[in-house]
């Protein structure tokens, strides 16, 4: 008997029919011998509709009350799924995040899970019930108010519950079959990835792969929760996200790692360049402090070598397009005090990244990547690397060519499925 957490997103519970379909799938899992906990998102567009209603009442809705309002969406779908399960003869109980013991920080709209006290869930599982938990929400430890974890954070709820319940694994149901070596819409030769490590998945998520929430992967890695990302519309196996050691139930595998496990891209960023910053200690810090104060997340930062003639330097950084307007305002406000020359803004860019734990032990990956891009006539803007990732910023209209070139260069094209942790070398 396994203990499983199954998470279904809004697209899996759009209407009464799809809720009934999910109920059948959940009941099957229990009937095959599993203890089942379900984490569920709000139905289809419910959250957007509630947000519209809030904005009709108040242009800047009070954060505490917005959380109170938005959390009702998941409570509704959780209750409806429990009804559908009862109707099929199952025993099911729905719980709000608060009832399920999801204890969070007090930051409304973007709370962090501090602890989970799943006493009621354990009791219900002990009684043989299927437990359904409203995702995306918790209760503040200090104020006892209802909180939300930020959009899309039901994945995180699921993994956190799986960890605190010592579940064997967590299934994230979505509308695709899992992770691919590249976006199949760009790269027709992209292959399905049956397994990927936490570190690689984390880099993929950070580099624009939308399939799993970044925080969810971080949580899964920290707690060692195996995550199975799969389609709610088929029975095909999806992608397992877990440490390679656990591949064959604890027996360590001697394996030759593929150099690159996937190519990710992201068209959601813009680039800001601050031209002519006086090259004094602390100037860059002042700029980025001001940005951070407004809760704007910076991705890549590049600072050029100072021009000797002027003792001035240029600083470029990328950030989500949605934050760029605010960032430009903040920076313009600093122009006098910092004394830089001008601001340049460019949102016709894309970021292309290759990710793979194999590059740790294989030098020369960067060179191969850059050569392949050059041969595809792709001009590189900014460059940023981690131990298992290389990212470049390119012109927006070069993104597709860059993805295709990298995918071919690292041997990801082919007829068979990608086998990131294949037992034999290649």
In the complex, the residues that contact a copy of itself under the rule CB under 8 A are: 16, 19-20, 50, 53-54, 56-62, 64-66, 68-69, 72, 75-76, 78-80, 82-84, 86-87, 92-94, 99, 120, 144
Q: What is the DSSP string of 62-125?
A: -HHHHHHHHHHHHHHHHHHHHHHHHHTT--EEEE-TTTTTEEE-S-TTS--EEEE--HHHHHHH
Nearest distance from C-beta of residue 82 to a copy of itself, angstroms: 4
Q: Which of 80/205 has CB closer to a copy of itself?
A: 80
Q: Which of 76/366 has CB closer to a copy of itself?
A: 76
185 marked ligand binding residue: yes
CA angle 33, 34, 40 (to 5 degrees): 140
Tally: H helices and E strands in the chain: 11, 22
Nearest distance from C-beta of residue 170 to a copy of itself, angstroms: 24
The structure tokens listed for 314 are: 């240029």
Q: Which of 60/367 has CB closer to a copy of itself?
A: 60
Q: Which of 11/385 has CB closer to a copy of itself?
A: 11
Question: Smallest Cα–Cα separation from 130: which of 34, 52, 11?
Answer: 34
7 marked ligand binding residue: yes
Distance of CA 31 to the CA centre of its chain: 31
Nearest distance from C-beta of residue 72 to a copy of itself, angstroms: 4
Question: Smallest Cα–Cα separation from 220: which of 176, 151, 154, 156?
Answer: 156
Question: Smallest Cα–Cα separation from 412: which of 207, 191, 194?
Answer: 191
Q: Which of 103/196 has CB closer to a copy of itself?
A: 103
Nearest distance from C-beta of residue 249 to a copy of itself, angstroms: 37
Measured torsion, CA atoms of residues 416, 187, 395, 267, in degrees rounded to the nearest 10: -100
Q: Which of 23/263 has CB closer to a copy of itself?
A: 23
Nearest distance from C-beta of residue 50 to a copy of itself, angstroms: 7
10 marked ligand binding residue: yes
Nearest distance from C-beta of residue 341 to a copy of itself, angstroms: 42
246 marked ligand binding residue: no
* β-sheet with 113-116: strand ranges across: 113-116, 102-104, 137-140, 146-148
Bind-site residues for ATP: 7-10, 174-175, 185
Bind-site residues: 7-10, 47, 74, 174-175, 185
Bind-site residues for substrate: 47, 74
């Amino acid at each position: 008997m396994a203990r499983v957490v199954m998470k279904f997103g809004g697209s899996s519970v759009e209407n009464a029919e799809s809720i009934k379909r999910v109920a059948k799938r959940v009941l099957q899992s229990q009937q095959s011998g599993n203890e089942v906990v379900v984490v569920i998102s709000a139905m289809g567009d419910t959250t957007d509709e509630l947000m519209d209603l809030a904005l009709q009442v108040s242009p800047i809705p009070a954060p505490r009350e917005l959380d109170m309002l938005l959390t009702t969406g998941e409570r509704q779908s959780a209750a409806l799924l429990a009804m559908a399960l009862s109707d099929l003869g199952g025993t099911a109980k729905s719980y709000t995040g608060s009832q399920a013991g999801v204890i969070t920080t007090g930051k409304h709209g973007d709370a962090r899970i501090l602890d989970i006290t799943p006493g009621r869930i354990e009791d219900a599982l002990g009684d043989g019930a299927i437990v359904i938990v409203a995702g995306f929400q918790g209760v503040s430890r200090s104020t006892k108010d209802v909180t939300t974890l930020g959009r899309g954070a039901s994945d995180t709820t699921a993994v956190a519950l799986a960890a605190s319940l010592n579940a064997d694994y967590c299934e994230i149901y979505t509308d695709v079959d899992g992770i691919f070596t590249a976006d199949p819409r760009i790269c027709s030769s992209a292959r399905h990835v049956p397994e990927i490590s936490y570190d690689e998945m984390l880099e993929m998520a950070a580099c624009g792969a939308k399939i799993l929430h970044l925080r969810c992967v971080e949580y899964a890695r920290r707690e060692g929760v195996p995550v199975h990302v799969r389609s709610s519309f088929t029975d095909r196996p999806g992608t397992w996200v877990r440490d390679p050691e656990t591949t064959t139930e604890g027996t360590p595998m001697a394996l030759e790692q593929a150099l690159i496990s996937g190519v990710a891209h992201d068209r959601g960023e813009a680039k800001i360049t601050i031209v002519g910053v006086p090259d004094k200690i602390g100037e860059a810090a002042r700029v980025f402090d001001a940005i951070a104060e407004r809760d704007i997340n910076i991705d890549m930062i590049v600072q050029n070598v100072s021009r000797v003639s002027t003792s001035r330097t240029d600083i470029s950084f990328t950030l989500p397009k949605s934050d760029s307007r605010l960032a430009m305002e903040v920076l313009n406000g600093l122009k006098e005090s910092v004394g830089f020359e001008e601001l340049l803004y460019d949102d016709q860019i894309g970021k292309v990244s290759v990710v793979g734990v194999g590059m740790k032990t294989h030098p020369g990956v960067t060179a191969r990547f850059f050569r392949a891009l050059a041969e595809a006539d792709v001009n590189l803007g900014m460059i940023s690397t981690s131990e298992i990732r290389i990212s470049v910023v390119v012109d927006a209209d070069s993104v597709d060519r860059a993805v295709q070139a990298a995918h071919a260069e690292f041997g990801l094209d082919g007829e068979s499925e990608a086998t990131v942790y294949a037992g034999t070398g290649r």
